[in-house]
Amino acid sequence: MNEFGYISIQTKNVDKTADFYIDNFGFEKVKKYEIEENQEKTILQFIKLENTLFEIFSISNSEEGENGPFAMIGIYVDDIEKKIKELKEKNVEIIDETPWKGSEEGQLIAGIRGINKEQIMLVQGKFPL
């Protein structure tokens, strides 16, 4: 089973961006993560509107994404390694051959590229709503 996961944007100010969507459109805060790795800090703020999850993130020492703030689409999958193998057989560009741990909840994540070079994150294990 595949299921729509989340939309993600990159921003310089996570809190200000989250507040914009909360104040103007009725989103609710879900969970915030701060991850420090290799002298780089990533801040993730998940907000939701009904059952739609929206990830707002910033990465220290990084500018906004190459294509503006839109960053990626997340799609939940049951078996990430099986899905990577299936996509590889269809010649889909695989960014992450080996899934990586996405948060302390233990989601496994791997990136692929869509036909327009958009980044799609395959996620095994849901982020909490």
Q: Edge-to-edge strand order for the sheet containing 119-124?
A: 28-37, 40-49, 52-59, 2-10, 70-77, 119-124, 108-113, 100-101
**51-87: per-residue pLDDT in tens?**
889 888 888 876 655 545 666 778 889 999 999 999 9
Alpha-carbon distance of 123 to 102, in angstroms, equals: 8
At 5, is the pLDDT very low, low, confident or very high (cuts 50, 70, 90)?
A: confident
What CA dihedral angle connects 42, 54, 1 and 35, to 10 degrees? 10
- Is the model's pTM score more than 0.85? no
**Whole-angstrom Cα distance, residue 38 to residue 59?**
12
Average the pLDDT over 98-124 and give the result.
Answer: 85
